[in-house]
Structure 1
């Protein structure tokens, strides 16, 4: 028997009901960018000028968005952040890495490093999901790694180079944070991310802002006799990026969507303007949770509450999964919690493309569900 879910009042429905934490809401103009590129770009060689011009525009736009320091470069390749973790074990970690882990994704990089037989076992400082460790150096580690934003839990950690880090590279997983959280890029050596979060595009690519020290490290390791698969060779990615291309054929539609998004970001205040948008979104969500007796913010320390991914726990008397199903039946999508976390909660994407008025409508819709007793257990 099919479960019937109530229809919510029309005045409680957001103009756009997409609140996923990746893939995330795509602006209509980004889809139009693919249509506009259908002639002369889509379906043409990625090594010719038309596609390379898109890559060049995107690299330049990201450089402007992050106000890259002198000598930093935007590097890109295929495979997303998951592929980057493996590439880093081959071409970025010299001998041993140190990791701050506080959720599923920050832990995956540490796991990849541990499985690499040519590296020493990584040092790991872990915090429980919902909490977050402070940036720190690790003795004997030539890479220090953590996530700017832990997508699975909604906790964020600032990008701050530890005072005693020496010549260790600071490598930041910014998959869900880049473009929506504040960052001073000179505090990191590698700030890598995927397109499907703040940049509102499809996955399958990774981008990284790299310092001169990181680029030098890549060259040094590449010159050794370490075996590095061609697809995961970071030196190959650097060399091709400088030509505004990728080693393998990229998803050109994703490039067009992301280029349009970066142009929109830079035209609307750059990174400070985007942080203003995500701050407004998060203020609405967390303020609402603080005011509801049945709800509470999963990340207890306000300083660690993400501006781009919000996680809200509910009392045992409330069935958060039913709330998500009612919302989905009414066109409000993808607020289910991260599947492996297994909590009675909602997880809400608050990326720059999401309008604050829609977050307000979302909370009003949940208010209605709770006040009408539609999600009790």
Structure 2
């Protein structure tokens, strides 16, 4: 019997490794929501102040410039991205970078739903980035900072032209609060509460640079805009959105949870502390991958490996010999076994992603929990390997 065949004795205290909604911060309990102003109008003085607090604390932790606007919007990060696409695009040509599921959805929306006449999609397969040097910064550019379903992130902001003519529209939902965002190279940034700070789902954040706000004042789309997408009125940005007013009614329980997450972020050293926690999780998995004989990173270039949505591929020869449908089945069996053991929930990859495992390594996950999980990955893989060996025999 090998070490991998032996059931590990140590178990993660928190088995939640899902990539959204993500693990709550260490020590969280429902008591954290005891001060929520439920049963109140979100427009009343107290609840409105809570919404404004989310905005102010978020800007401060992220180091967002004072002249940027930040608002709370409905429908999570998806809603925030769609608001930006529908309200801002069409003034000039657009490049869309697509290298995983959600960036592929943004490309589909730009081409098939908005039907923009001058849209170009720069694609790459899972595990890689498109050719960043091919981006045309005379055009608007839509991209993710971190591909949540591929575990691939852009290495830095140096590829973004500082003198760009178009807008840099960045989906940063699994990057905000875990990676450095160069605000001088970005114009629209979106994220959701459910990712790095482990907030409850359903609410998005939309940040606009002065250049993006100017676009709202100088460009009116020639398409109907549902109320939920409208960022401007009478040729000017709707300032209330960026001052705590919301387009639809927010959950004050979720607002309280978001504030709790932000206060915790401050307690662990703000953005530097959050980044260090996420990078430590990636480093722990990288050390394990280095000595693994069956697992590797889906991201091919180490400089592009995500420290939040850490995606693994299975490299064992017997697995590579399976048909794609069987590979999917085997990978899901590994995730299901870990779930059944109660040591790791929701490790299956996103439905459109290649077979493998996806481990959330955002700041709310303790590195000790990652380290406790890794022997269980070896154990589960050994069980599934034995099962397939018996079937082959």
Shared fold by TM > 0.5? yes
Q: Is the 8 A contact 2:72 2:244 kept in 1?
A: no
**1:101 counterpart residue number:** 98
Per the TM alignment, residue 141 of structure 1 is displaced from its structure 2 partner at its CA by 5.5
Residue from 311, 333, 336 that aligns with 2:345 = 333
Structure 2 residue 293 is the aligned partner of structure 1 residue 293? yes
**Counterpart for residue 303 of structure 2:** 303
Within a 5 Å distance, the mapping from 1:255-274 to structure 2 comes to 255-274=255-274
- Return the alpha-carbon distance in structure 2 between the equivalents of residues 53 and 251 of structure 1: 14
Taking a change above 3 Å as real, the CA distance of residues 87 and 375 of structure 1, as seen in their structure-2 partners, is farther
Instruction: Write the distance in 2 (CA, Å) between the matches of 1:21 and 1:87.
Output: 23
CA distance in 2, matches of 1:375, 1:274: 39
SS of 2:189's equivalent?
A: strand
Q: What residue number does 1:159 align with?
A: 157
Structure 1 residues 300 and 71: CA distance shift in structure 2, 3 A: same
- The CA distance in 1 between the partners of 2:256 and 2:6, in whole Å, is 37
> Aligned Cα RMSD in Å?
2.4
Correspondence for 1:230 = 227
Q: 1:121 to 1:100 in 2, by over 3 A?
A: same
Partner of 1:351: 362
Task: Give the SS at the match of 1:278.
Answer: helix
Residue pair 2:126, 2:354 contacting (<8 A) in 1 also: no
Unpaired runs of 5+ residues, structure 1, are: 1-5
Give the conservation status (yes or no) of the 8 Å contact 1:195–1:203.
yes
Alignment partner, residue 279 of structure 2: 279
Corresponding residue for residue 241 of structure 1: 241
CA shift, 1:29, in A, is 3.0
Would you say the 8 A contact 2:137–2:165 is kept in 1?
no
C-alpha separation in 1, matches of 2:109 and 2:302? 31
* Whole-Å separation in 2 of the counterparts to 1:284 and 1:201: 24
Aligned position for 2:253: 253
Is 1:82 aligned with 2:78?
A: yes
Q: Which residue of 1 aligns with 2:69?
A: 73
Give the equivalent residue in structure 1 for 2:45.
Answer: 49
* Per-residue deviation, 1:92: 1.1
- Checking the alignment, whether the CA contact within 8 Å between 1:77 and 1:207 is kept in structure 2 is yes
The alignment covers a number of residue pairs equal to: 366
1:281 to 1:138, Cα distance in 2 relative to 1, 3 A: closer
Q: Measured at CA, do residues 268 and 347 of structure 1 come closer, stay the same or move farther in structure 2, by a change above 3 Å?
A: same
